[in-house]
Amino acid sequence: MITRTLLMCLWLHLPLLASPNGYIAKKYVSTFSKEELALPGKRGICFALREPNDHKRSIWGLPVKWPESIPKVKEFNVYWNYSWNSNRVAAQPNNIEFLPMIYGCYGLEATKERLQKDVLSAIESGKVKRLMGFNEPDKKNQSNVNVKTAIEYWPLLEEMGIPLCSPSPARMEPNINDGTSQGVKGKWLQDFFYEVDKRGLRVDYVGVHWYGGLDVDHFKAKMERLYNMYGQRPLIISEFAPANWSAKTREQNTRTPAAVLDFMKEVLPWLEKTDWVAGYSWFAFGINQPAGWNAALLDHDMKLTACGRYYRSITNENPNGDLSIKPDPDKPPVDKNKGDIVSFTDEQIKKQGLNPRFMHKSSHDLVSKSWKALKKKNIKDMKDIWEAATAMYGKEAKKQQSKLKALPNENDASKYSTLNDLGLITFILGQTYHKKGEKELAKDTYEIVLANYSYAQAYERKGPWWWSISKGVKKKLAKL
């Protein structure tokens, strides 16, 4: 008897060939019944569900820890949710189906362990009924998985014995440049399904990401093309919303919340009534996010926007939702929580000699770029990062510093994120000078931390604990 393991070994060694241009996947007949493939309802949502002690935060002010996110999942009254992760948290509501995702490829053994620990046990207890594949594998800053690796890992997912959703790349169609693919090129999904057909693998849904304009007919036509292109499998549209990725500020994204709400009122009822759409999840942009502030579901105070209220109103019993909901104002709302963070036009950036590579970035993002510059001992980049951070966040950092008379305790430290980030960036600049032998410049930079950001702290994930940046500076000064 030829075992499944032997068959896997045989087809894993088949040569991986690029799919022919215009390849259309074979029509697929699932081994699961229509009832088994059906979600409890089509409307879902995605929020990260990190642990409370995880100090990562959303740069757009969205809930990312499960004590913040689970109440929002409940508030939206959705039928299913996912978190870009495989772990179903204990607080997950029993009346809302959680869809685990294997985000990327972590090594075959590590992936097996993750599936055993997070997925198989939840399947056996009846809490998990389907599984999602890799997130945007065609993007380097997402799961970044090539087709060969995806095909190698796929049998591990198949062994879970539940319906599988394909990976969801940023670019869904290979030969159509319609502005919906976040600038990503290639034909990842077409190549994936070519190999799936060739090797007889099982994929039960097509995972879809879409970020386009406000043309309803264009959206419907694209969804229908995807359905027919990939074997007439039902679609799970796990991320979608109108977006303008070229906008650097909210003001540059001139679509109005009213126009987005009109789009929702046409598209969502259509999705509800279209048999081959299994589920959908509107992407929850942050209200201060330039690309999609006008499509946000939550405002600065974590209350539902007009788009959020309409999204919540869609139910199995009322697939049209509450069409009487009025739109929010056309202009971006004032961020009461943002503080004195300075925005710059392109002309102002040029006039002040700031490096545009590091402008319009969050302070958290600039900290990450600072560590990379330090590792490379790149003084020019590090100095440009510090100048950009100081120009955008210096006023707010000093404001936060002025409110303090001592180091905040560990529960309050994260409330002073701008102060912490700018203090850390300045400290890293000093370290960069120090490593390059520029002792006087290093000393002067360290003194800036003591003078302006003495209550700044940094979070050490390996601890976990917060540490005083000023204490770190004093240790460095003692060595100079």
For residue 294, the SS3 value is helix
Report pLDDT for 361. 85
> pTM higher than 0.75, yes or no?
yes
What pLDDT sits at residue 366? 93
pLDDT in tens, 16-43: 555 666 789 999 999 999 999 999 999 9
- The answer for residues whose C-beta is within 8 angstroms of residue 21's C-beta and 6 or more apart is 174, 175
Q: Is 134 helix (H, G, I), strand (E, B) or coil?
A: coil
Residue (of 131, 105, 54, 44) closest to 314 by Cα position: 44
Report residue 462's pLDDT band, with 50, 70 and 90 as the boundaries. low
Residues 6+ apart with CB under 8 A from 204: 28, 30, 32, 37, 130, 163, 164, 165, 233, 234
Task: Specify whether the backbone of 437 is left (phi greater than 0), alpha (psi in -120 to 50) or beta.
Answer: left
Please tell me the distance from the alpha carbon of residue 195 to that of residue 154, in angstroms, as a whole number. Answer: 11
Q: What is the pLDDT of residue 288?
A: 85
Domains and CATH numbers, the chain: 23-313 (3.20.20.80), 346-479 (no CATH)
Local confidence band at 337 (pLDDT 50, 70, 90 cut-offs): low
Residue-wise burial string across 387-403, b where 16 or more C-beta atoms lie within 10 A, e elsewhere: bbbbbbbbebbeebbee
Least confident of 220-229, 273-282, 454-463: 454-463
As a whole-number percent, the residues of the chain with pLDDT over 70 amount to 92
